[in-house]
Chains A and B, each alone.
Chain A
Amino acid sequence: MTSVAFTPGIAALLLFGTFFVLFIMRVPVAFALGLACLPVLIIEPRLSPMTLFNETFKAYNSFILLAVPFFLLTANLMNVGGIMNRLVHLSRTMVGNFPGALAQINVLLSVFFAGISGSSTADAASQSKIFIEAQVKEGYGLSFSIAITAVSAVLAVIIPPSILMIVWGGVISTSIGAMYLAGILPGLLIAAAQMVTVHIYAKIYNYPVYPRATIKEFFVSAWQSIPALFTPFIIVGGILLGWFTATESAAVAVLYAAVLSIFIYREMDMKHLYNAFAETGRLAAVALFCVGTASAFGWMLAYYQIPKALLENVTSWGMGITGAGFFIAFVFLVVGCFLDAIPAIIIVGTILQPLAQSVNMHPIHFAIIGIVSLAFGLVTPPYGLCLMISCAVAKVPLKFALKDTMIMLVPMLLMLAAIIIWPEIPLILPKLIAPELLK
């Protein structure tokens, strides 16, 4: 690796420079990442564009990433198979009497959804269709409705199961079972912050309230939802008990959702099933294709030892765990504005890991800080997939809902700060339930 044509600085400039020019020219991100590798691959005598093929092949030839289509499929089956309706009804009996009832239901449903599916984009897509129009009809602001749907969708990758945690576990070798347990409390705290935000909005703008549900109504709809609510226990429990691997657990979630939809709730027909498959394939493929080119890009960075060069100065700043935590969160938040979360883990997560290690940050703490920050990146412009999806469903440009989204992000960022300052928040559950995973 001594006789390379470029110094790390020049190579970084070429790679990132080309990427940004292409990015601004509206080249899709997946293609911009691949194209950015080309000039260097062609000029460098020891490399050839074959690297692009080997690295994309290696990225797709991975059993771990199979979890992505499975979690999307679970979500799509939930939508068409009647699981979603029952969870909406249950949420209504629980928070329907709060001010801003429908928006509170929106947040609570995201929590339930997060426990079954591991995909925020799937959550944003399905809840936008359910809530945005309904909220506007009841007198909620359109921009508020889009924003709360998008920001509550990020819970899906924080509360287990989570696609991001599976990818993180595969790329940075961290226990997925431990990350799952660690994500529960931060996820619930962020959901609570969102419900407080909704409450304040509802008081200011006088958003409507539903009549209080009776205890009986609550128990009836809870009874009907029990089979669906049981999913997270099967998934997380199955992994902790070693019944199946993380990827297999995603397949189990698909089978379980299919059984519920076909045999218990009986609301699925062939056309719905075909559409669920097609939607899953479409979204999974474009997201994962990007993972391949991002891996090639990440490989190039590693080849020129760019991460080492970038971090050389940072490690000498002498940060403690908290300082490093804020730095890591900041980097992921900025990167999350421009990249999807999975490529960001592949490219940036591996860059930051030595830093986390050098300050003795617990790997699970590091993982949760990274994943929560990247989850927030799903609603930050210019590249915030959940916000883009919600705005697309409402047929307005992304700028339209920006102000309310940013307001809602403030309490969420405070929760992220709390997670950074007190490592116990993510670490307490794994410590209590599965201490052997923390070693």
Chain B
Amino acid sequence: MKTILDGYHRILTWLMVATVAILIVPVTLQIISRYTHLIPSYIWTEELSRFLFIWMVMLGAMIGIREHTHFEVDVWPDLAPKPTALLRIISDVLVLVFALVFVWWGIEFVRFGWDQLSELAELPMPWIFIAWPLAGVTWVIFLGESLAANFRVLFS
């Protein structure tokens, strides 16, 4: 199970790195095309960079749950392992609620935009909207892993 999750985690990370690496291209094209006539002035460069950006944010937010990099504030004193696990479980369950909202209404969100095309490049919008329910599903998976680990600590 852990191997599968590690693999999924790695794929998401690669995709995120790809979005960061590609992101610079359309913006550069946009600047260059303004000053030379070597390449045509692509009107869709701005839109493409925005869509890559959305995917970068959503992919990073997905892996952030497994890597515990979403910023949180620690106002508690240092607790023993079991109370710490309990607190983690509570916060994981609350985030799980949010993840389920992203799955449930996320599907509606995709359905709502099912046959929309983007304004400039005429890309199908579901390609973008699908990031929301996908994030929800991914969080549910990663939170399940974290919850299992914390329950093990709690009942050990």
Contact = CB atoms under 8 A, between A and B. Distances in A.
Interface of B is mostly: helix
B118 to A, nearest CB: 10
A61 interface: yes
B43 interface: no
B69 to A, nearest CB: 5
A382 interface: yes
A122 to B, nearest CB: 14
B24 A251 contact: yes
Contacts of A52: 101, 105
Interface in B30-73: 30-31, 46, 49-51, 53-54, 56-61, 63-64, 67, 69-73
A63 interface: yes
The listed residue with most A CB atoms (<10 A of its CB), out of B20, B21, B49, is B20
A66 B49 contact: yes
Contact of B67 (A244, A255, A282, A338): A282
A393 to B, nearest CB: 15
A101 B72 CA distance: 35
A405 to B, nearest CB: 16
Interface string A246-258: 0110011011000
- Give the size category of A's interface with B: 35 or more
A283 to B, nearest CB: 8
16 contacts: A22-B94, A25-B87, A26-B76, A26-B87, A27-B94, A29-B73, A35-B94, A52-B101, A53-B106, A61-B50, A251-B28, A278-B20, A281-B59, A283-B69, A286-B69, A383-B71
Interface of A: 22-31, 34-35, 38, 48-50, 52-53, 56-57, 60-63, 65-66, 69-70, 73, 244, 247-248, 251-252, 254-255, 274, 277-278, 280-290, 292, 338, 340, 382-383, 385, 388, 397-398
* Cβ-closest 5 pairs across A and B: A285-B60, A28-B70, A289-B61, A251-B27, A281-B16
Given A35-B97, A285-B56, 19 more contacts: A26-B73, A26-B74, A27-B94, A31-B95, A38-B97, A49-B105, A53-B109, A57-B129, A66-B23, A69-B20, A70-B23, A285-B57, A288-B57, A289-B57, A289-B70, A382-B73, A383-B71, A397-B78, A398-B74
